[in-house]
Amino acid sequence: MIPVIIYDKCQCNPKKCTAKRMLKFNLGKEAKTLGAIPKGSIVLSPFSDKAMSPADIHAARKGLVVMDLTWTNIDEFPRLKTVEERALPYLLASNPINWGRPMELNSAEAVMAALYILGEKEQASEFLGRFNWAPEFMRLNGEMLEDYSKAKDSTEVVRIQNEYLEAIRGGSGPEEETD
């Protein structure tokens, strides 16, 4: 089991806040200060140059950290020197606020995806009964998550992501025939 750590900047509607809901259902523990985030843990960050991959499992065992703040305030994202930052690969949001938008996941979607990619599929499935959009998240992203979870490292996750993006753009990949 991966310890999920939630740092909540309290920027969203408390009734709709997935961070607060994760805490309520014991899907994570709160870090009340940045100093409470374990050294060497993994912080999910949209600014990281490295993608989350199964190779990150050892660092994730120290903690998987989600910084809960709104996308409109993303420039306030805390940067820490004592952690590993990882970005999630291409995924679609299924929450009611950002449904269908690529890469605009809420905190619970991000944690669920990271757990799945790390191979902690049983722990990720705990979100299915707690968030009404979670089954839709798996329907939209299940195939991609499964492929990402089979990658050996960040480079391979990015390669898989790029294959999906090329298919979405309708580009001619090596398996397509041309006249």
Residues ≥6 apart with Cβ < 8 Å to 23: 6, 8, 29, 30
Average pLDDT, stretch 50-66?
Answer: 96
Tell me how far apart the alpha carbons of residues 12 and 67 are, in angstroms, rounded to a whole number: 12
Q: Quick count: other Cβ atoms within 10 Å of Cβ 103?
A: 15
* Residue 2 in this model has a pLDDT that exceeds 70: yes
The conformational region for residue 41 under phi > 0 = left, psi -120 to 50 = alpha, else beta, is: beta
Please report the pLDDT score of residue 13 as a whole number. 67
Residue 25, pLDDT > 70, answer yes
Q: For residues 88 and 102, which has the higher predicted lDDT (pLDDT)? A: 88
Please state the rounded mean pLDDT for residues 119-128: 94
The DSSP string of 10-42 is: --S-TTT-HHHHHHHTTSSEE-SSGGGSPTT-E
Give residue-wise pLDDT tens across range 165-179: 999 888 654 454 444
